């Protein structure tokens, strides 16, 4: 059993062009030292044979290593959501490590924009050939990627987008549509059709992503002519006490809220509050496959979770950099993640 010899390599190209392998190699990597005439001749043969380099041999022979930086929120006691993207990053790393890629991870604190700036500066100081980041802080991220662009370092966004920036690509949810799905799920147990609340628990309550999600959420009710009042609740401090305080006040003001849609993974803190308040009449929808959230899904305090495959985002994000920088292959400008619906019944088989 012999391997088919359908592939032509540099050797065949060299033979046909009456030059040495080294010269063909120079043309392939457009290094200097080849006359225009031979260069053209070789390029023609390359095209004619539809030459595909053998990546195995190429990476084997090359000694170059490529350094990539990853800039993500640190896993905190408050939420371990970012564990998942990191898992994806690690998986990608171990796959491409043998191809000469080295990944360094930098963490920032979601409650402290200054840490983002610090880490971003560290990345700019290092000699990195590409960056993967979650642009959680809008302004800080804008500043950072401006520097990247100046240094010609390609960058990839995951989880949330920053519009109008010439990033390499965005890998994450279609935020508007995600809110739209959240709205539909919110109507699942709606009876009197009075009020629903959309809750944002985050330092950055007027960021681009949040606005997009809320817009999608509202659009669903508009599109279906549902005369429902939507209460917006912003909770700037993410600790459990603040959540309890703000929610108590909000539910006191509007006691006929029938459904709550939390725009991020902190839905478990709302679930905890509702449980303590013995409010099982309010349906609760939120985001992300976290241990805490799944627990409340199982006790039916949470009705649905929406999830955007965070692990795959990390994996694909790093792979996108690998593809452009190592393989020189083009990547899609935006890659929308599926909008997965998790219930008590199907959660056991969900792939984060």
Partner DNA sequence: TATATTTACGGGTACGTACCCGGCATCTTA
Partner DNA sequence: TAAGATGCCGGGTACGTACCCGTAAATATA
Contact positions vs its own copies (CB under 8 A): 1-4, 7, 54-57, 59-60, 63-65, 67, 98-100, 102, 173-174, 177, 180-181, 184, 188, 220, 336-341, 343, 345-346, 348-351
CB 37 to DNA: min, Å: 7
SS3 261: strand
Which of its own copies, DNA, none interacts with 351 (beta carbon under 5 to 8 A by kind)?
A: its own copies
Burial class (CB in 10 A: 0-12, 13-18, 19+), 349: exposed
Q: Are 314 and 86 in contact (CB under 8 A)?
A: yes
CB 350 to its own copies: min, Å: 5
CB 64 to DNA: min, Å: 5
Residue 135 to residue 71: CA distance in whole angstroms: 9
Which of DNA, its own copies, none interacts with 256 (beta carbon under 5 to 8 A by kind)?
A: none
Looking at beta carbons only, is 159 or 246 nearer to its own copies?
159
Binders of DNA in range 92-151 (CB under 7 A): none
Looking at beta carbons only, is 1 or 241 nearer to its own copies?
1
Looking at beta carbons only, is 28 or 190 nearer to DNA?
28
C-alpha pair distances (Å), 210 with each of 141, 206, 251, 341 = 16, 6, 21, 19
Looking at beta carbons only, is 35 or 351 nearer to DNA?
35
Residue 253 to residue 41: CA distance in whole angstroms: 79
Which of its own copies, DNA, none interacts with 25 (beta carbon under 5 to 8 A by kind)?
A: DNA
Chain-centroid distance of CA 262 in Å reads 19
Q: DSSP letter string over 223-240?
A: HTT---EEEEEEE---SH
CB 67 to its own copies: min, Å: 8
Taking alpha carbons only, the member of 133, 123, 37, 121 closest to residue 89 is: 133
Binders of DNA in range 13-72 (CB under 7 A): 18-23, 25-26, 28-29, 32-39, 51, 53-54, 57-58, 60-64
Tell me, by CB under 7 A, how many residues bind DNA.
Answer: 32
Residue 248 in the binding site for DNA (CB under 7 A):
no
Looking at beta carbons only, is 41 or 174 nearer to its own copies?
174
Q: How many CA atoms lie within 13 A of 116 on its CB side?
A: 19
Strands 283-287 and 257-262: parallel
Terminal Cα-to-Cα distance of the chain (whole angstroms) = 41
Query: Two tokens at 185?
Result: 């799920």
The DSSP output letter for 264 is S
| Contact positions vs DNA (CB under 7 A) | 7, 9-11, 18-23, 25-26, 28-29, 32-39, 51, 53-54, 57-58, 60-64
């Amino acid at each position: 059993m012999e391997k088919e010899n359908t592939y032509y390599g540099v050797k065949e190209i060299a033979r046909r062009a009456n030059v040495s392998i080294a010269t063909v190699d120079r043309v392939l990597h457009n290094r200097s030292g080849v006359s225009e005439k031979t260069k053209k001749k070789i390029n023609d043969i390359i095209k004619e044979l539809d030459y595909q380099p053998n990546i195995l041999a190429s990476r084997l022979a090359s000694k170059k290593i490529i350094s990539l930086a990853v800039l993500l929120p640190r896993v905190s006691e408050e939420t371990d959501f970012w564990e998942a993207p990191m898992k994806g990053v690690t998986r990608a790393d171990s796959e491409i490590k043998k191809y000469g890629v080295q990944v360094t991870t930098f963490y920032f604190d979601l409650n402290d924009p200054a840490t983002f700036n610090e880490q971003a500066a560290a990345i700019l100081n290092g000699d990195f050939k590409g960056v993967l980041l979650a642009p959680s802080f809008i302004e800080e991220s804008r500043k950072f990627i401006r520097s990247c662009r100046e240094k010609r370092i390609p960058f990839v966004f995951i989880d949330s987008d920053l519009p109008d920036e010439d990033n390499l690509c965005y890998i994450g949810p279609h935020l508007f549509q995600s809110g739209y799905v959240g709205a539909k799920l919110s109507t699942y147990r709606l009876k009197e059709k009075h009020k629903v609340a959309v809750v944002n628990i985050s330092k950055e309550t007027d960021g681009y992503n949040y606005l997009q999600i809320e817009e999608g959420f509202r659009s669903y009710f508009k599109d279906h002519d549902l005369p429902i009042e939507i209460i917006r609740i912003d909770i700037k401090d993410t600790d459990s006490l603040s959540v309890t305080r703000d929610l108590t006040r909000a539910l006191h003001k509007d006691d006929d809220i029938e459904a709550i849609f939390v725009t991020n993974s902190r839905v478990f803190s709302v679930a905890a509050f509702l449980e303590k308040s013995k409010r099982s009449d309010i349906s609760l929808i939120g985001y992300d496959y976290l241990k805490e959230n799944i627990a409340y899904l199982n006790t039916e305090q949470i009705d649905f979770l929406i999830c955007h495959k965070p692990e795959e985002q990390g994996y694909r994000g790093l792979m996108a950099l690998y593809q452009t920088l190592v393989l020189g292959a083009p990547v899609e400008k935006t890659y929308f993640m599926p909008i997965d619906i998790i219930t008590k019944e199907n959660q056991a088989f969900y792939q984060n």
